[in-house]
Amino acid sequence: MSQARAKVLFITSQGAFQLYGGAETALIMLKHYLEKKGIICRIYSYEDNFHDYDIVYLHNVSQFPIEAFRLVQLAKSAGARVISSPIYWSSFESALEYGVGIKKFAHLIAYLISVFVSKTGIDFGLQSSPRLMKLALEQSDLVIVNSNAESELISRHFMIPKRKIRVVYNGVDPNIELADPKIFMNKYDISDFILYVGRIEPRKNVLRLIKAFNKTALDTHLVIIGRPMQEFYKYYWDLCLKEAAKNPKKIHFLGSFKYSSELLKSAYVSARVFVLPSFYETPGLSAIEAAVAGAKLVITNRGCTREYFSDFAIYVDPLSVESIAKGLIKAYHSPVNEDLKRHILTNFTWEKSGDQFIKIIKSIV
C-alpha cells in the first residue's frame, strides 16, 4: 500500500486530553506531520471501525493497559497492524513519594507487585494492569519508545524482544525561539526568572524544587506553570503551597497555559533558567522546548534525559534539595550555551520524528 493511501487510527486513554501534557502534545504533533505527508489520520471516536484502517496506534499504553489489551485483539482481528507506544518508566524512588502513612506503604507494595507481574506475567488470574500491559505489548506488531533507555527498560521489565521495539525520538517546534518575550513580561512584570512547566504532582518533584529555590537565596523569581493535580494529590499541593508561602514575593503559581498559546512560548524565551527535577523524565517535552527557546537547563539525572541533552544540561539528583539548589545557582550564573539549542534542533524535531514513524509504517503495511 502506498504511503499516501495509508490510514492511521490513533487511540489514547479517554481522560488524556483532560490532563493535557507532553504525551498528548507528542500525539497531536505526530498526527499533524503525518497529515502533511498525505497519510490519513484520526483520533479514535465511536464512529471509527478498525476495518477501515491500516494501522491502529495505541498511544501511552501505560495509562490504559486493561483497555489497550482488548483493543489490540480487536484491531488485529479486523486485519489492522498494531503499534503500541507505552511511554513507560519505572522508579522505586518515585513510588516512595506518593501518599502519606498507610497510603505510602500500600503504594510501595503495589509498585513491587507490579514489577513482579510485568516481568513474569503471573497475577494468579486477577487480570491485573501489569499483566495485561505485557500482553498488549507482546501481541502488538511493533512497540515504539522514545529513547534507547526506555527500550532497555521495556525489554527488561516486560520481556519484550528488542527486535519488536523501535525508537522514535520526541521533537520540538523550532519556531518557539521566535516567540516575543514581551508578551509574558508585560503581563507578569517578571524577567530573567527560573521557570518550571509541568503538572504539580509528586513525580515532578515540585516540592523539593520550591525548597531548593528557597535555599539558593537567588535574587530572582521561580515561576511555576502547570496544573495542580488536586483530584489525586491534594496533600501534595497543600505542601507545595505551604513551602511557597515562605517566599511569597518570589514564587509564583500561574496555573496551566495552553500548549499552543503565545503566552507559554513567551514564558520560555523570557526565562533565564528552566528546571525539571522530576524523579524521571522521558525526556520532558517542556525541557526540549525551553532548550530551543534559549534557556539554560537544569534537569533530573533519572530517566532518558542524558540521551536527549547530552553534556549541554546541568543534571541534578531529584532526591537531594542540595543538589537541585546547586544546579539552580550554577545555571543562573552561567553564560548561555548555544550548543544546547543547536544540538536539539539538529537531532530532535517533529519533522525527524514524523519521518521515523513513516519509515516504520512502510515497513509493516
In terms of domains, do 89 and 132 share one? yes
Q: Give the residues across from 228 on adjacent strands.
A: 200
Gap between the Cα atoms of 117 and 267, Å rounded: 43
Low-confidence ranges of the chain (pLDDT < 50): 1-4, 124
Report pLDDT for 3. 44
In terms of domains, do 217 and 68 share one? no
In terms of domains, do 122 and 226 share one? no
| Residue that has been written with the C-alpha cell 522546548 in this structure | 289
In terms of domains, do 135 and 272 share one? no
In terms of domains, do 97 and 160 share one? yes
Residue 93's identity, in one-letter code, is E
Residue 112's identity, in one-letter code, is L
Write a three-state SS string for 286-318.
Answer: HHHHHHHHCCEEEEECCECHHHHHCCCCEEECC
Distance of CA 267 to the CA centre of its chain: 19
Report pLDDT for 105. 60
Report pLDDT for 1. 42
Integer CA distances (angstroms), 102 to 96, 99, 118, in order: 12, 8, 24
In terms of domains, do 34 and 130 share one? yes
Alpha helices in 51-159 (DSSP H): 65-77, 92-95, 102-120, 129-139, 148-158
Gap between the Cα atoms of 146 and 345, Å rounded: 17
Gap between the Cα atoms of 170 and 74, Å rounded: 28
In terms of domains, do 193 and 314 share one? yes
In terms of domains, do 214 and 311 share one? yes
Gap between the Cα atoms of 148 and 332, Å rounded: 31
In terms of domains, do 162 and 194 share one? no
The number of domains in the chain is 2
In terms of domains, do 165 and 215 share one? no
Task: Provide the domain limits for residue 103.
Answer: 3-171+349-364
Residue 49's identity, in one-letter code, is N
Cβ atoms of 142 and 364 within 8 Å: the answer is: yes
Report pLDDT for 4. 47
In terms of domains, do 190 and 328 share one? yes
In terms of domains, do 93 and 9 share one? yes
353: CATH = 3.40.50.2000
Report pLDDT for 192. 93
Residues 58-90: tens digit of each pLDDT = 999 999 999 999 999 999 999 999 999 999 887
Query: Cell for 302?
Result: 533519572
Percent helix / strand / coil, the chain, rounded to 5: 50, 15, 35
Gap between the Cα atoms of 107 and 96, Å rounded: 8
Gap between the Cα atoms of 269 and 176, Å rounded: 8
Query: Cell for 242?
Result: 505551604
Q: Where are the beta strands (DSSP E) in the chain?
A: 7-11, 40-43, 55-59, 81-85, 142-145, 165-167, 194-197, 222-225, 251-255, 273-276, 296-300, 314-316
CA angle 325, 328, 334 (to 5 degrees): 140
